[in-house]
Structure 1
């Protein structure tokens, strides 16, 4: 099989209902399977999927286990050359999936690829280009880990750089987890997602591990998704603070005292690779 699409849902019934038809349409010319992992929803998500989308495979978690662990359940069930991780609150363009699969097939050095994300109003979302927001950028600068993210240009007027290159296909450090196409052979090599990242940070960690293993991550803006970026909990709740900032602590602790080495053929030590752009 060419492609497995993994969608994790938790209490996003209405958004999932509009997401799935766009994914089905975008995958119609590709040999594929779509797997929905419901992470213990209390709304009508499970019933909706079973009734409206019987062709979609489903895994139902009796208790919530988090985004990373749920995605691992899906990838374990997936039997395909590529694995697409998407959030339940996105809408795919008609040719988006087909185009990114074609891109991966033309770039055998790629471990993962992401696309340009827009808000429902059509505004460009910079995090689709960088893979993380300002809070993570600040953490990387403070800890000194920023040197391992050279393509994010964290010390070089990043806002202006992001705007200039919104439409440039380029190698990046991090793929945003809202839409992340992975090469299965690369995923097999680096291992499953780190389940300590319950909701946030697992995409950053996974992208970083791909680069450590010698793969490249690409941003491909010639197609797009709409991302509603819906939060299940307010940013001012204790649960959100614990998961979001807890992920930062886990990431810093995982790499701060262990000097990573980017594996580049013929080069024994980590170095900052040149910035590559395709027009």
Structure 2
């Protein structure tokens, strides 16, 4: 262990770094050590919010002077619950959220604190994300979707982590929606922006993101299995009737794609059924119409993506996300402001 493990011994400083983790035994030490080093100048606390890891994550984390809290109920695991769990146990003026497969770059926290001190209208600030898993189709698709969110300047959300002002979070009621299996950063962003707060990204390296190595289709299946891709429907349901709903729909570009795709498929399905009942050789004609619908979508992806493997992946991903949109809207919800049941494994 580095000398950084001795940093968190004084009273809480200005920054709480929340590391959310699930089975990160290979990377958690680097995430913790980089967080402790990041607090050397500004002071603060590191809180590991663990979602019931079954590997050595907790045992490794106990070597460091940090607070460790763990979900009491593993059935509640989702991306949104980790940040809120850590926030419950934090106390500093500013709060940073870090994934367990990331490492904080030296001096970013210093730069971020200086930025928020100088810009009182800013609720949060992020930096540049250094990706290390550059070859996966999932990474390439994420870059295509989110490139504009990652540029320096005023942004509409802080994907991949950011430093937030506690007073802004208190104004909107809670940090992260405990019900969301994904899209928790966007949900936080639109709630803040609907209250007049701003978000910024500075041109300074913030984190190294190592990600998880997995074949693209295996990863897609795992995200369905864990309900990660239900997030698109969950965030829409969460926003219905809320002041930020119109802003959410405006920013949720993929929702429009999935919604229109669902309408497209339903329309062709209705035409196919009509052909099957009312035309001679109707079943063949109806089936042909529906196959044409699917081939049209596939060819559109092929033109846009330029390679067959990317087109097939986008095609499969599209229809899985369309199904997840529908499923996510009907997932049950708890009060996002309700205290999360947890166990304190280590307290500093």
Q: Is the shorter-chain TM-score for this pair beyond 0.5, marking a shared fold? A: yes
- The answer to whether structure 1 residue 12 and structure 2 residue 12 are counterparts is no
| Cα pair 1:214 1:262 within 8 Å, conserved | no
Structure with a larger share of its residues in helix:
2
Q: What is the match of residue 178 of structure 2? A: 195
The runs of 5 or more residues in structure 1 that have no matched partner are 138-158, 264-270, 273-279
Tell me: higher relative CO, structure 1 or 2? Use CA pairs within 8 A at least 6 residues apart.
1
Residue-pair matches, total: 227
3-state SS of paired residue (1:58): strand
- The answer to whether structure 1 residue 235 and structure 2 residue 219 are counterparts is yes
Which whole-Å CA distance do the structure 2 matches of 1:43 and 1:33 have between them?
24
Equivalence map 1:62-141=2 (5 Å): 62-64=72-74, 65=76, 66-120=78-132
RMSD between aligned residues: 3.1
Q: CA separation of 1:97/1:237 partners in 2, compared to 1, >3 Å: closer, same or farther? A: same
Which whole-Å CA distance do the structure 1 matches of 2:245 and 2:220 have between them?
37
3-state SS of paired residue (2:180): coil
User: CA deviation digits over 1:47-70, x for unaligned, max 9?
Assistant: 11112x1x1111122432323222
TM-score (normalizing by structure 2): 0.58
User: CA deviation digits over 1:110-155, x for unaligned, max 9?
Assistant: 01111110112789xxx9xxxx7666x8xxxxxxxxxxxxxxxxxx
| Cα pair 2:172 2:191 within 8 Å, conserved | yes
Q: CA separation of 1:241/1:249 partners in 2, compared to 1, >3 Å: closer, same or farther? A: farther
TM-score (normalizing by structure 1): 0.72
Q: What is the match of residue 248 of structure 1? A: 232
- 2:190 is aligned, of 208, 226, 235, to 208
3-state SS of paired residue (2:212): coil
3-state SS of paired residue (1:230): coil
CA apart distance, 1:203 = 0.8
CA apart distance, 1:239 = 4.7
User: CA deviation digits over 1:138-191, x for unaligned, max 9?
Assistant: xxxxxxxxxxxxxxxxxxxxx6xx49x84xx31110111x32211000000112
- The answer to whether structure 1 residue 223 and structure 2 residue 205 are counterparts is yes
| Cα pair 2:132 2:209 within 8 Å, conserved | yes
Structure with a larger share of its residues in strand:
1
Which whole-Å CA distance do the structure 1 matches of 2:166 and 2:46 have between them?
15
**Aligned structure 1 segments of 4 or more residues deviating by more than 4 angstroms:** 132-135, 256-259
CA apart distance, 1:238 = 5.7
